[in-house]
Homo-oligomer: A and B are copies of this chain.
C-alpha cells in the first residue's frame, strides 16, 4: 500500500482494529448460536455481548505483544478477549479453527471493500454521463490506428466509456458475490466439532452466504475470480486514462486534465501542462492488474489447505482494493473537471482536407454503378494527393476536378457527401442504448 494512493475509508477496512472487530463479531455470533443450540451455556454468549456493549475498543498493541510470544494470532486474540471478559469467555471458539475466523473475516473485509468500490463506480458513471450529455453533439474526429478515420462526437467517446464501466460495475457485483461467503466448518470442513447451523447463523448475521463445502479454508478460486475482476476494471481505467493522455498531446490538445492555478508542471519547463493524473492511473492499473497473477496461483493449495495464500493476501487484499478505490476516485475527478476544447476538435477535424469523408464518396460511387475496385482506385488517387499535401489540398475540390469521378457524380452530389451531420444521425440511438433515455 502506498499512502499517497490510499483513501481513509478503504484503508480503515484493512486496519488491525477492523480485523479484530470482525473477529470478535464472528466469535460472539458463533458462541450465541452454540448457546442457542445448548452446546455452551447462554452465559458464555451473554458475557461476550455484555462486554461488547461497553464499546471497549481493541487494544491492538496488547494483542500483538501476545502474538509475539504465542506465535499464533488467533490464540493471542482469544487470550486477550478472555482477559477482558473473564472466565465465561472460555466457551468462545468451541469447535472452531483459526481459519473459520480468518477466512470469514477476509470475506467481510472484501465485501465491505467492494461496497466502497461500487460507490466509487457509481460516482464515476455519474461523472461520465454528465460530460457525455454535455458533449453529445460536440463534433470530433474518430481515430483508428491513431489515424483520422471518420467524424464522431465527443459524447460518443464518453458513452463508450460509460458502457464499459457499467459492465465493470456488473463485474464488481459478480465479484462481490464470489467472495461473500462464510465458513465455520472446522479443521477439514467436516463440521465434526461444530454444527453447520452455526455457520449458517453467523453467515446470516454478517450478510454472507454459507460456503457449501469448505476445507478449513474457503476455496481460493473465489478470490482468484475476485482479483481477476479487479484486474479487468483496472484495465478499463487504463483505457480511459490513455485516451485522455492522447487527447492532451501537444499536437492534439482536444482535452486537458484540469490545471490548478499555482500548479507547476515542470521544475525546468514553465510552459508544461502534463496529463500526470492519467499517467499515474496508467501505472496504478498495471499494479492492480498484476495482483491477479498471485491470486490465480493461490488456487491450487495442497490438500485441504496450505497457508501459502496468506502472505499473498496480506499484500493484495489491501493493495488491490485501496489502489483501485483511489484510482476510481481520481479518474472521477479527472472526468468531472476535464477541460474540453470543442474548437480544437473542429480544427483537427478539418485539418485533413476532407479525407475523413472518403468512405462516403466511395459508397456513392459504387451506388452510381462503378465497381468497388474502381471506386476505391478513384478515391484513393485523390485522397493520396490530399494526404501528401498535409491537408492543404481539399478532397472535395480534387474529386470535382477528376474527370472519371465527375462522369459519375455531379458537384452537388459530391458536396452532399461532405456533410458532417450525416455522421451524427444515430447518436440518439446509441445514447438510448447506453443511457436508456
Contact = CB atoms under 8 A, between A and B. Distances in A.
Contact of A266 (B97, B242, B289): B97
A203 to B, nearest CB: 12
Given A95-B363, A228-B292, A144 B187 contact: yes
8 contacts: A75-B264, A98-B267, A143-B249, A145-B279, A146-B250, A187-B359, A243-B303, A282-B308
A370 B264 CA distance: 18
Interface stretch (A50-58, A116-124, A347-355, A405-413): A347-355
Interface in A349-384: 351-352, 355-356, 358-360, 362-363, 366, 371-373, 376, 379-380, 383-384
A270 B308 contact: no
Interface in A259-279: 260, 262-276, 279
Contacts of A93: 267
Contact of A286 (B171, B268, B293, B348): B293
A416 interface: no
A71 interface: yes
A145 B390 contact: no
A80 interface: no
Given A146-B306, A249-B249, 19 more contacts: A142-B216, A143-B302, A145-B307, A152-B189, A160-B215, A212-B430, A224-B232, A232-B299, A238-B300, A246-B302, A249-B252, A269-B358, A270-B358, A280-B308, A282-B306, A286-B298, A286-B308, A286-B312, A289-B293
Main secondary structure on chain A at its contact with chain B? helix
Contacts of A434: 212-213
Contact of A4 (B2, B304, B314, B425): B314
B424 A190 contact: yes
A269 B171 contact: no
A229 B299 CA distance: 13
A96 B384 CA distance: 22
Which of A290, A362, A366 gathers the greatest number of chain B CB atoms within 10 Å?
A290
Contacts of A344: 390
A310 interface: yes
Interface string A82-101: 10000100100111111000
A145 B282 CA distance: 12
Contacts of A379: 270-271
Contacts of A289: 293-294, 296-297
A328 B280 CA distance: 30
B239 A352 contact: no
Total copies of the chain: 4
Nearest to A148: B250
B269 A149 contact: yes
B228 A231 contact: yes
A146 B98 contact: no
Contacts of A150: 186-188, 190, 192, 269
A70 B262 CA distance: 7
Given A163-B219, A219-B160, A299-B238, A362 B279 contact: no
A335 to B, nearest CB: 16
A196 B430 CA distance: 9
Contacts of A61: none
Contacts of A266: 97-98, 144, 149, 187
A5 interface: yes
A87 B369 CA distance: 11
Give the 5 A-B CB pairs with smallest separation, nearest first: A142-B188, A283-B311, A145-B274, A235-B299, A271-B383
Given A2-B315, A190-B142, A263-B71, A274 B147 contact: yes
A225 interface: yes
A157 B299 CA distance: 15
**Which of A78, A152, A248 has its CB near the most chain B CB atoms (within 10 A)?**
A152
A232 B228 contact: yes
